[in-house]
Structure 1
Amino acid sequence: MDLVLSDPTVTVDFLLDRLRSTFEGVKASISTIYNFLTKVCKFSLKRLSKWAMRRDSPELKQQRLEWALENKVKIDLEKNCVFIDEAGFNISMGWEYGLSKVGEKAVLKVPVTRGLNSSFLGAISPKGCIDLKVRLQAELIISTHF
């Protein structure tokens, strides 16, 4: 478990080799190691999130704390903070899995094979929506000011 926790890119082959080199005569297969990792240790295979190494360093955490303490008077969520977020979608997006009878394909009829990409960008404050922009694939920007 410590090897996986210290390096999430470690392979099952590597773990099996390490086990065999540490304990002579161990008879285990790759599937045995994989089943142990998933069923006993509760690990699962996921897409990696790459973070800068210094992100969680004690020095950087201390700098963040000092900044927050220095600026806590200036930061008033109800007076001078705006939250901005973006979301994107495509008309072709949808479920990748579906149900069908055994032996038959699961088919979903859709209006087009490729849809336009759209992005929404919004700015809100505790007093309400400040601005909302919609960007379509053709770079057309629709803006609504509140």
Structure 2
Amino acid sequence: MNHSLCPWISNLTDCCLVICKLHIAARAFNPEILIANCFPLMITISYHISRTVFETLHCSNMEQDRLVGRGNLHRRGGGGGAPRQRGGLQRSVGRRQRTIISNEVRAIIVDHMVNRGFTMAEAARLVQPNLQRSTVSSIIRTFHQENRINRRQPGGGRPRVLTDQQELAVEEMVRARNDIRLSEIKQAIENSNDTFANVPSISLPTMSRLLKKHQVSMKQIYLVPFERNNVRVKQLRSEYIQRVMELDAAVNHHTYIFVDEAGFNLAKTTCRGRNLIGQRATIQVPGQRGGNISMCAAISEDGVVGCTPVLGSYNTEHLIVVFFK
């Protein structure tokens, strides 16, 4: 029998006596006896019910905690013990971390052991609190076998293929020629006898990672006519600016009219689209491209002065007809 029911058993005699009194009072129609015995009975029953529920829940929680601590409580997806994580059991929370000993402490330990004749335990206690004897043994063993006191520098893996200066030289190649290919950069590095003399070969993925490291990305080529920035065109721009400044400084007010033309085709569409993977992105276009249309427009400080589209391209004759008609 559950021990939580003991309060009921210990008060069973009192409850029976109260019930008998109530039965007698009811038969004798004595209200005073009914009131005097009914309320204490209700209070007693409520108290024992609350106490029983509390003790039952408390014992159940204690039993569950005990089973979890022992690893006997079965969970969904596996047995008891520590909760599982991705890749295996949970690592121990109280695992001691690796102690990093500085080079100065290592030198003191070697001096105590080699020159002063201290034992490993004595050297560990004198140099640093909570220093393990195995750590002192490892330091002394490294000193005797490798004649080294300082910590080994972290490393591992393959060494760098290019130095910082060589990486900057590769970046300058891309800056000088934006349309250069990775294969061309690879060939230039392998054929170089001065800057890249110590690099016999280099792979294309290495070149790609190097350019990404220096924030060099692949992008669309923007076509710039080479005549745009030659010496003659720059001189003409300078003369134009000087002329505009002279007109602005003049007494008479001048109105500037800016004229430009642009050509387009009605069959021109976007070059990119979207569709499901494995299916082409298609649109309906005319079978014949048709002729080009040129639009010439003029604007001033007051807004658009005029615009005239023509079929074909604009030339001097067309401009004279548009602006002097």
Show structure 2 runs of 5+ residues with no match: 1-170
The structural deviation recorded for 1:24 is: 1.9
Give the corresponding residue for 2:198.
Answer: 24
The structural deviation recorded for 1:49 is: 2.1
The structural deviation recorded for 1:67 is: 6.5
The structural deviation recorded for 1:134 is: 0.5
Count of equivalent residues: 139
Structure label with greater radius of gyration: 2
Judged with a 3 Å threshold, the aligned counterparts in structure 2 of structure 1 residues 89 and 36 are, in CA distance, closer, same or farther, namely same
- The equivalent position to 1:118 in structure 2, one of 278, 286, 293, is 293
Give the corresponding residue for 1:4.
Answer: 174
Judged with a 3 Å threshold, the aligned counterparts in structure 2 of structure 1 residues 70 and 50 are, in CA distance, closer, same or farther, namely closer
Give the corresponding residue for 2:259.
Answer: 84
1:66-97, Cα deviation, whole Å (9 max, x unpaired): 77456513148x83311112122211111122
Aligned counterparts of 2:281 and 2:240: Cα–Cα separation in 1: 55
Judged with a 3 Å threshold, the aligned counterparts in structure 2 of structure 1 residues 19 and 136 are, in CA distance, closer, same or farther, namely same
Q: Where do 1:61-76 residues align within 5 Å?
A: 64=238, 68-69=241-242, 71-75=244-248
Show structure 1 runs of 5+ residues with no match: none
The structural deviation recorded for 1:112 is: 4.7
The structural deviation recorded for 1:39 is: 5.5
Preserved contact between residue 133 and residue 144 of structure 1 (Cα < 8 Å): no
TM-score, normalising length: structure 2: 0.34
Give the corresponding residue for 2:32.
Answer: none
What SS does the aligned partner of 1:33 have?
helix
What SS does the aligned partner of 2:296 have?
strand
Preserved contact between residue 132 and residue 144 of structure 1 (Cα < 8 Å): no
Preserved contact between residue 263 and residue 313 of structure 2 (Cα < 8 Å): no
1:109-143, Cα deviation, whole Å (9 max, x unpaired): 2355423311100011112322212011499x896
CA RMSD in angstroms comes to 3.9
Structure number with the higher strand fraction is: 1
Judged with a 3 Å threshold, the aligned counterparts in structure 2 of structure 1 residues 95 and 124 are, in CA distance, closer, same or farther, namely same
Indicate whether 1:33 and 2:203 are aligned. Answer: no
The structural deviation recorded for 1:40 is: 3.0
Preserved contact between residue 134 and residue 143 of structure 1 (Cα < 8 Å): no
The structural deviation recorded for 1:101 is: 2.0
Give the corresponding residue for 1:133.
Answer: 308
- The equivalent position to 1:102 in structure 2, one of 269, 277, 281, is 277
Preserved contact between residue 247 and residue 254 of structure 2 (Cα < 8 Å): no
The structural deviation recorded for 1:38 is: 4.7
TM-score, normalising length: structure 1: 0.66
